[in-house]
Amino acid sequence: MTHTPLSALVTGANKGIGLAIARQLGTNGYRVWLGCRDLSRGEAAAVQLRSEGIDARAVLLDVTSDTSVAAAARTIDGETGGLDVLVNNAGLMFGQPPSLADESMDEIRQMFETNVFGVLRVTQAFLPLLRRSKAARIVMMSSGLSSLTDALDMRSETWTVGFGGYCASKAALNMVTVKLAKELDREGIKVNAVDPGLTSTDMTGNGPGHAPEDGARPAVALAMTHAFGPTAGFYACSAAGELLQKNW
């Protein structure tokens, strides 16, 4: 039997796109768990959402730590008894490297640890809870910079963009998305990746881009997709808020 209300975990949710995703899911009736490395910041964000009438709770969750992820899964299991939505939003990107030939191996390793291994670590830990839902959804926060098709297209806006290590980590995440979607399809669990578009957040230096609320829309749409909705896809949102399929 599905637990009520519907519940969602958003990693990296104390600020930026993650907080916006949590807010939008919360306004749609979900109990939202804010997975955060810094519990005090997570609690502050949860208090903010609760003041808006959202059932929000913070949980300590460092996606790079087996111990932390396992503890978070036990906490949510004990409180909620299951999970309906997992949004793997936590991510890491460093400043513009000089070139891939000179990029720091240590920084690339850290990005893969968070953007790929961390996502898989969290997903594996929470799959037992997701399997208790009648219609579980997993959403991966990817990037337009992950597309091999666009990277090879001279007409693409990403043609001249560097960030080789970051792009490679998100391309690897896309493959994880497809493999998981194929494995979990027969269980009714839908798995998709999203491109939030250029969003003004701390990760991007709060520079050009749309607001986190806009960057959150494709993730929320896929988290709430119906039984005939997509799986194993890569999506963005149009200016009108419609889902647009992207090239891997």
Q: What is the CATH T-level fold of the domain 7-245, as seen in this structure? A: Rossmann fold (3.40.50)
The mean pLDDT of 41-54, rounded to a whole number, is: 98
The mean pLDDT of 120-139, rounded to a whole number, is: 98
One DSSP character per residue, 199-216 reads B-STTTTT-SSB-HHHHT
Check pLDDT > 60 for residue 233: yes
| pLDDT tens digits, 84-114 | 999 999 999 999 999 999 999 999 999 999 9
Check pLDDT > 60 for residue 225: yes
- Of the candidates 222, 211, 213, 212, the one whose C-alpha atom is nearest the C-alpha of residue 244 is 222
Q: Which stretch of DSSP H or E encloses residue 57?
A: strand 56-60
The mean pLDDT of 176-197, rounded to a whole number, is: 97
- Of the candidates 128, 157, 127, 133, the one whose C-alpha atom is nearest the C-alpha of residue 145 is 157
How, if at all, do strands 137-141 and 190-194 pair?
parallel
Distance, CA of 133 to CA of 137 (rounded, Å): 9
Q: What percent of the chain has pLDDT over 90?
A: 89
Is there a cis peptide before residue 5, judged by omega within 30 degrees of 0? yes
- Report CA Rg, the chain: 17
- Mean of per-residue pLDDT scores for the chain: 95
Q: What percent of the chain has pLDDT over 70?
A: 95
Exposure letters 4-33 (e unless 16+ CB within 10 A, then b): eebbbbbbbbbbbbbbbbbbbbbeeebbbb
| pLDDT tens digits, 187-222 | 999 999 999 998 766 666 656 767 999 999 999 999
Q: Where are the alpha helices (DSSP H) in 60-216?
A: 66-80, 105-112, 119-130, 148-151, 164-184, 212-215
Q: What would the two tokens of residue 147 be?
A: 């597309």
The mean pLDDT of 172-187, rounded to a whole number, is: 98
Q: Which residues are catalytic?
A: 166, 170
Q: What is the pLDDT of residue 238?
A: 85
Q: What is the pLDDT of residue 3?
A: 46
pTM for this entry: 0.95
Contact predicate 29/5, CB 8 Å: yes
Check pLDDT > 50 for residue 1: no
Q: Determine how many CB atoms are found less than 10 A away from the CB of residue 196.
A: 26
Residue 2 — pLDDT band, cuts 50, 70, 90?
Answer: very low
Three-class secondary structure of residue 160 per DSSP: coil
Please report how many Cα atoms fall inside a 13 Å half-sphere around the Cα of residue 9, on the Cβ side: 33
The domain spans of the chain are: 7-245
